[in-house]
Amino acid sequence: MEVFLQQLINGITLGSIYGLIAIGYTMVFGIIGMVNFAHGDVFMVSAFIALIAFLILTSWLGITSIALALFIVLIVAMLFTSLVNWVIERLAYRPLRGSFRLAPLISAIGMSIFLSNFVQVAQGPRNKSTPPMVQGEFVIFTQNDYAVTLSFKQLIIWGVTAVLLACFWYLVAKTRLGRAQRACEQDQKMAALVGVDVDRTISMTFVIAAALAAVAGTMYLMYYGVVSFSDGFVPGVKAFTAAVLGGIGSLPGAVIGGLLIGLIETMWSAYFSIDYKDVAAFSVLAITLIFLPQGLFGRPDVEKV
């Protein structure tokens, strides 16, 4: 019971990070129908930007308040990562819009290889570890000498994720941009006819996706305290799994899928084998797609002749 509760807390934390990345996949897939393979690497780049911003703030500018530093790091990482993803969309995907389906996929795979190797060349191949940014924890209860704890950083991740998801939900559901996005998702040509700037909307989708990935990247850095150039692939694939599990194109689906994947992974590690935790996540993906191809909250895909 104690172990279960502790893993539940860990799983929700991990799931929040996956959920934030998964939204990026699901939004981009929803609007232009491509699997943005580079998204995991955008997440990794954002973690590096956060690391550099954190070092500048603490060691150069001498900011001692961790809360203020984290807040600024979050904003900086979101801004720069958005710029990165905006440029990627502009250079690598926009020229291929309306072209045949595999072209953007290959372009995205190329971009993913490019990004991880760029970071490797620019920042070096070694793991970058920071001293713990946030320390301390609540002990929820102790039973049989096993303390179930909720650390402050987990609490921060929950809080930041919740606040950002609320902002994001407001953006998509209530604003002009969100309406334009949903319109483009349904029918780009029709949306263009009624005056929606489709190119701009798609660009903004990439910007929002990157901003959420940057939040995930900052949280990841804070939680694990270490990042390397190859850290984009596995979280990327798992977040994509989450998006598919939740039903690709569905925003609440992405979040719930992320939480489920995070829980499956931590529970599997605790009760079965930590070596095969990735197999568990990938098997869930395969099983979902085979028996429930539209995911938990997705619309069924109707084929017309």
- Contact residues for another protein, defined by CB under 8 A: 29, 34-35, 45, 48-49, 51-53, 55-56, 59-60, 80, 83-84, 87, 91-92, 95-96, 99-107, 109-115, 117-124, 126, 128-131, 233, 237, 240-241, 244, 275-276, 278-279, 282-283, 285-286, 289-290, 293, 303, 305
CA–CA distance, 53 with 61 (Å, rounded to integer): 11
Residue 145 Cβ vs another protein, minimum distance, rounded to whole Å = 31
Shorter beta-carbon distance to another protein: residue 94 or 179: 94
Judged by DSSP in three states, 151 sits in strand
CA–CA distance, 19 with 235 (Å, rounded to integer): 10
Quick one: which H or E segment has residue 226? strand 226-227
DSSP 53: H
Residue 131 Cβ vs another protein, minimum distance, rounded to whole Å = 8
Q: What distances in angstroms separate CA 199 from CA 38, 83, 208, one per listed residue?
A: 20, 16, 14
Cβ atoms within 10 Å, residue 58:
17
Shorter beta-carbon distance to another protein: residue 11 or 236: 236
Shorter beta-carbon distance to another protein: residue 9 or 44: 44
CA–CA distance, 76 with 46 (Å, rounded to integer): 10
Residue 231 Cβ vs another protein, minimum distance, rounded to whole Å = 14
Shorter beta-carbon distance to another protein: residue 4 or 272: 272
Residue 138 Cβ vs another protein, minimum distance, rounded to whole Å = 29
Q: How far is CA 56 from the centre of its chain?
A: 25
Residue 90 Cβ vs another protein, minimum distance, rounded to whole Å = 9
